[in-house]
Amino acid sequence: MEQHKGARQYSHGEVYCNCCGELITNRERTNQHRDYLHVEKAWGYFSSKDLAGHSFNICENCYDRWLESFRIPVEEFPVDEIPNYSEDEIAQLNEAYAAEVCKG
Ligand SMILES: [Zn+2]
């Protein structure tokens, strides 16, 4: 199996899903820009992971499967503001969106 990078190790703008190992997004390629969950957790003294930090990325497919296993559904709320994207990222998103719309 191919060795995948950890969540903090982005090479050439690539972000991998820690769960399925698939490439989630490549910031240098405009046509592969997908949203994902990024988690950073610093475990404290009252855990069995004393002062260890964990960091990982989860793609939307794995996220959906993970949520299906929850006994209590997640709370959903409207989001008014999009995250802070750089000018480059906004340009990439607009290009990707335009490409999707043109397919239609
Ligand atoms: Zn995944």
Ligand 1 centroid to Cα of residue 35, in Å, is 11
Predicted local distance difference test score (pLDDT) of residue 52: 92
Per-residue pLDDT band for 1 (boundaries 50, 70, 90) equals very low
CA distance 55 to 38: 7
Ligand 1 centroid to Cα of residue 81, in Å, is 25
Predicted local distance difference test score (pLDDT) of residue 32: 61
Mean pLDDT of the chain: 82
Helix, strand, coil distribution of the chain in percent, nearest 5:
25, 20, 55
User: Mind listing the pLDDT tens digit for each residue in 38-89?
Assistant: 999 999 988 998 889 999 999 999 999 999 999 999 999 998 877 777 777 7
Ligand 1 centroid to Cα of residue 5, in Å, is 14
Task: Give the global pTM.
Answer: 0.66
Domains of the chain, residue spans: 1-75
Residue 38 CB: number of other CB atoms within 10 A?
13
